[in-house]
Amino acid sequence: MPPADSSFHKTPAARKATTPKESPQRRRRLLDAAEELFSSRGFYGVTVRQVAEIAEVDVALPNYYFGSKRGLFDAVFHRRAEVLNQARSAGIDAVIAAAGDGRPSVEDILHAFIQPVLEAQASSDPGWRNYCRLVAQVNSSAVFAEMMSTHFDELIAKLISALRIALPQAKERELYWAYHFLTGALTLTMADTGRIDHLSHGLCHSADAHDAYRHLVTFFARGFTAAAND
Q: How far apart are CA 52 and CA 187, in angstroms?
A: 28
Domain locations along the chain: 6-228
Q: For 165-226, give the DSSP string.
A: HH-TT--HHHHHHHHHHHHHHHHHHHH--SHHHHHTTTSS-TT-HHHHHHHHHHHHHHHHHH
CATH topology of domain 6-228: Tetracycline Repressor; domain 2 (1.10.357)
Per-residue pLDDT of the chain (230 residues; tens, 9 = 90+): 444 555 666 667 555 444 435 688 999 999 999 999 999 999 999 999 999 999 999 999 999 999 999 999 999 999 999 999 999 999 999 999 999 999 999 999 999 999 999 999 998 899 999 999 999 999 999 999 999 999 999 999 999 999 999 999 999 999 999 999 999 999 999 999 999 999 999 999 999 999 999 999 999 999 999 999 88
Question: What is the rounded CA–CA span in Å between residue 115 and residue 83?
Answer: 13
| pLDDT at position 178 | 97
- State the pLDDT at residue 5: 58
The radius of gyration of the chain's CA atoms, rounded to the nearest angstrom, is 19
Predicted TM-score (pTM) of the model is: 0.86
Question: Which candidate, 133, 138, 181, places its Cα nearest to that of 36?
Answer: 133
Q: What is the pLDDT of residue 23?
A: 83
Dihedral through CA 142, CA 185, CA 131, CA 52, nearest 10?
50
Cβ atoms of residues 31 and 75 within 8 Å: yes
* DSSP label of 20: T
Q: Are 206 and 196 in contact (CB under 8 A)?
A: yes
